[in-house]
Amino acid sequence: MDRPRVVIVGAGFGGLRCARSLSGAPADVLLLDRNNYHLFAPLLYQVASSLLNPSDIAYPIRAVFRDGGNVRFRMAEATGADLDAGRVQLSDGSAVPYDYLVLAAGSETNFFGLQSVGRSAWGMKDLPEALALRNHVLRCFESAAREPSAHARAPWLTFVVAGGGPTGVEYAGALAELVRLVLGRDYPELSAGDVRILLVEGLDRLFPTFPPALGEKARARLESLGVAVRLRARVLDADADRVRLSDGEAVPARTLVWAAGVKAAGLAAALHAPRSRSGRIEVDEFLRVKGRERVYAIGDLASFQQDGREIPMIAAPAMQQARHAAGNIRASLEGRPPAPFHYKDRGMMATIGRNAAVAQIGRLSLAGFAGWIAWLFVHLYFLIGFRNRLVVLLGWAWNYLRHDRPIRLITRAGDRD
């Protein structure tokens, strides 16, 4: 008799963990992803700011499951699913049947309907975007160096970062260091003082999900790095050389980096499944898509309510849900009832340039060097692959000791167009 077939869509934090947790289960597991690598998104900003190489934070998925066993990988893009017939549709026109489906397709950038921003802004959601941003910023330095006047250089050297959450704060800090370490040394035509980095946040503080004191510390640290923090302001529109803000300022800038929001991946809208106001797929207490016994949704794609709120779109819930969904599938395979899921919030952390980070771990708030050390070890621990851990650690040590951004290469392969 054929073994039950589990199909997992997405090999990110949730999907990969789920597949690993189903290793050895009495079922054939097929893991699908449109990319052939698993991406460690929390370090994307270090690729975008010339500190790490793309291969340092990505890991080939087939290598994870090369030892045989019941998990197979296929590089394929899911375009939809017939949840009644039990089939996932793929972009090449074929379909994959399943007995159990786990939807783990993550999220995508949310421009909140701002079309001009969607056309002009630089995102940081995947490797090609991070590489394109790295190329663009380094090209801005080159273009500025060719300009004869400070007035003409200004738009090349003004960088607006939208979003005061961890991604925006981390990138703004890393960009300030890139400017200090690279522009100051490699470009005798330019001065670091010509550069303006503006971090724009619509709320009244940075890190809205952290305790207010940590947001304040992050702001002080960014300002000490030369980043101007503008609170209670939003980006309204943008074109190639100007960003207009809600407080009336039109900033002459050729770079707008968008870190102001994400929404559920496009796949969510292609399914006939109930969705929350945020567009995420609604799941029940067992992580099953509402009304479906054998279809699970986890991670950024899933809307799971706890204490009257949707749990956040970060890596920890995706991994916890992955293990839990795998456990419930195993239970079903063995004829046992599913168990309800409960998210254990273990905290958040973000780094702000060299030697400084903020972290909230349970009741413990860390900032500065202590926060940075905690951040460093947590990120190394969750990176996949010994080589990646070693290379990233060496990259950080090099940066720490040499004050260097070694990967300041403008490569055509990473271009946006």
Contact positions toward ligand FAD, by CB under 6 A? 9-15, 32-35, 39, 41-42, 44-45, 77-78, 104-106, 124-125, 166-167, 265, 267, 299-301, 313-316, 318
DSSP string, 67-130: T-SSEEEEE--EEEEETTTTEEEETTS-EEE-SEEEE---EEE--TT-HHHHHH-B--SSHHHH
Q: Which ranges constitute the DSSP H helices of 334-385?
A: 368-382
Closest distance to ligand FAD from the beta carbon of 189 (Å):
32
How many C-beta atoms lie closer than 10 Å to residue 394's C-beta?
A: 11
Closest distance to ligand FAD from the beta carbon of 31 (Å):
10
Closest distance to ligand FAD from the beta carbon of 49 (Å):
12
Please identify, using beta-carbon distances, which residue of 129 and 177 lies nearer to ligand FAD: 129
Residue nearest to ligand FAD (CB): 12
Please identify, using beta-carbon distances, which residue of 130 and 154 lies nearer to ligand FAD: 130
Please identify, using beta-carbon distances, which residue of 105 and 287 lies nearer to ligand FAD: 105
282 φ, ψ to 5°?
A: -75, 130
Q: Is 325 helix (H, G, I), strand (E, B) or coil?
A: helix
DSSP classification of residue 211: -
CA 60 to chain centre: 18
The residues near 297 (Cβ < 8 Å, ≥ 6 apart) are 102, 103, 104, 273, 280, 281, 283, 287, 289
Q: Are 253 and 269 spatial neighbours (Cβ–Cβ below 8 Å)?
A: no
How many C-beta atoms lie closer than 10 Å to residue 296's C-beta?
A: 30
Closest distance to ligand FAD from the beta carbon of 274 (Å):
18
Closest distance to ligand FAD from the beta carbon of 160 (Å):
17
Q: What share of the chain is helix, strand, coil (3-state, %, to 5)?
A: 40, 25, 40
Residue 177's nearest CA partner among 414, 382, 396 is 396
Which residues are part of the catalytic machinery?
Answer: 170
Please identify, using beta-carbon distances, which residue of 45 and 296 lies nearer to ligand FAD: 45
Please identify, using beta-carbon distances, which residue of 146 and 416 lies nearer to ligand FAD: 416
Q: Are 251 and 235 spatial neighbours (Cβ–Cβ below 8 Å)?
A: no
Q: Is 20 helix (H, G, I), strand (E, B) or coil?
A: helix
Closest distance to ligand FAD from the beta carbon of 46 (Å):
10
Closest distance to ligand FAD from the beta carbon of 149 (Å):
35
Please identify, using beta-carbon distances, which residue of 130 and 140 lies nearer to ligand FAD: 130
Please identify, using beta-carbon distances, which residue of 163 and 338 lies nearer to ligand FAD: 163
Residue 225's nearest CA partner among 281, 148, 159, 270 is 159
